[in-house]
Amino acid sequence: MKQFQLKKKSSWFSILFLLCFVLISTGSVFAQKQTKKDLENKKKQLQKEIEQTNLLLAETKKNKKLSLNQLVMLNKKISAREELIATINNEIGVLNKQIKENNASIDGLQKDLTKLKAEYAKMIYYAYKNQDSYSRLMFVFASADFEQAYMRLKYLQQYSEYRHKQAGRIVKTKKDLNEKVQELESKKSDQRVLLGSEESEKQNLTSEKTEKEQVFSELQQQESKLKKDLEKKKKDAQKLQQAIQRVIEKELEKAQADAKGKGKPVPAKLVLTPESQQLSNSFLSNKSKLPWPVAKGVISEHFGVHPHPLMKDIDINNNGVDITTNSGALARAVFAGDVKAVVSMPGAGQFVLLRHGEFLTIYSNLKDVYVSVGDKVTTKQNIGSVLLDDDDNKTVMHFEVWKGQTKLNPEDWLYKNN
Render pLDDT for 29-40 as a digit per residue (tens, 0 to 9).
Answer: 433 455 778 888
* pLDDT interval class at 417 (50, 70, 90): low
- Report the pLDDT value the prediction gives residue 96, as an integer from 0 to 100: 85
> Per mean pLDDT, which range of 69-83, 281-295, 374-388 is the poorest?
69-83
Q: How far apart are CA 225 and CA 202, in angstroms?
A: 34
**pLDDT higher than threshold 60 for residue 352:** yes
| CA–CA dist 339, 302 (Å, integer) | 25
Residue 406 falls inside a structural domain = yes
269/385 same-domain check: yes
Q: What pLDDT is attached to residue 353?
A: 95
Looking at residue 142, its pLDDT comes to 60
167 lies in the same domain as 268: no
* 107 and 206 inside one domain: yes
- Are 180 and 255 members of one domain? no
Query: Same domain, yes or no, for 185 and 287?
Result: no
Residues 9-26: what's their mean pLDDT?
39
- pLDDT of res. 335: 96
- One domain for residues 306 and 254: yes
Residue 360 inside a domain? The answer is yes
The pLDDT-based confidence of 20 (bands split at 50, 70, 90) is very low
Please report whether residue 23 resides in a domain. no
Q: Which of 200, 220, 240 is the last residue of a domain?
A: 220
Task: Give the CATH number, domain containing residue 72.
Answer: 1.10.287
Q: Are residues 61 and 192 in the same domain?
A: yes
Share of the chain above pLDDT 90, in %: 24
pLDDT band (50, 70, 90) for residue 312? confident
Q: What CA–CA distances, in Å, run from 359 to 270, 401, 402, 406?
A: 11, 7, 6, 9
Domain annotation covers residue 24: no
Residues 329, 195 share a domain: no
Same domain, 186 and 269: no
Provide the pLDDT confidence category of residue 276 given band limits of 50, 70 and 90: confident
Q: How many residues does the chain have?
A: 418
pLDDT digits (tens, 9 = 90+) for 154-163: 655 565 566 6
Span of 66-75, 110-119, 213-222, 304-313 with lowest mean pLDDT: 110-119
Domain membership of residue 3 (yes or no) is no
Contacts of 63 (CB under 8 A, 6+ apart): 392, 393
Q: Same domain, yes or no, for 216 and 247?
A: no
Whether the per-residue pLDDT at 55 is higher than 60: the answer is yes
- In this structure, is residue 330 part of a structural domain? yes
**Residue 243 pLDDT > 80, yes or no?**
yes
Residue 3's pLDDT is 44
Q: What is the CATH number of the domain that holds 234?
A: 2.70.70.10
* Whether residue 283 has pLDDT greater than 90: yes
Provide the number of structural domains found in the chain.
2
Predicted local distance difference test score (pLDDT) of residue 247: 84
Q: Select from 188, 220, 252 the last residue of a domain.
A: 220
Instruction: Reply yes or no on whether the pLDDT at 134 is more than 90.
Output: no
Structural domain boundaries, residue 67: 33-220
Q: Is residue 8 part of a domain?
A: no
Task: Give the lowest-confidence range in 142-146, 277-281, 372-376.
Answer: 142-146
pLDDT averaged over every residue in the chain = 78
**Could you tell me if 62 and 149 lie in one domain?**
yes
Last residue of a domain, one of 220, 245, 265: 220
* From 22-31, 185-194, 276-285, the region with the lowest mean pLDDT: 22-31
Mark whether 130 and 57 lie in a shared domain: yes
**Rounded (5°) CA angle 90-197-187:** 60
Confidence of residue 386 (pLDDT cuts 50, 70, 90): very high
Min mean pLDDT across 26-40, 66-80, 165-179, 388-402 is at: 26-40
Predicted structure pTM score = 0.67
41 occurs within a structural domain: yes
**Lowest-confidence segment of 4-13, 240-249, 291-300, 354-363 by average pLDDT:** 4-13
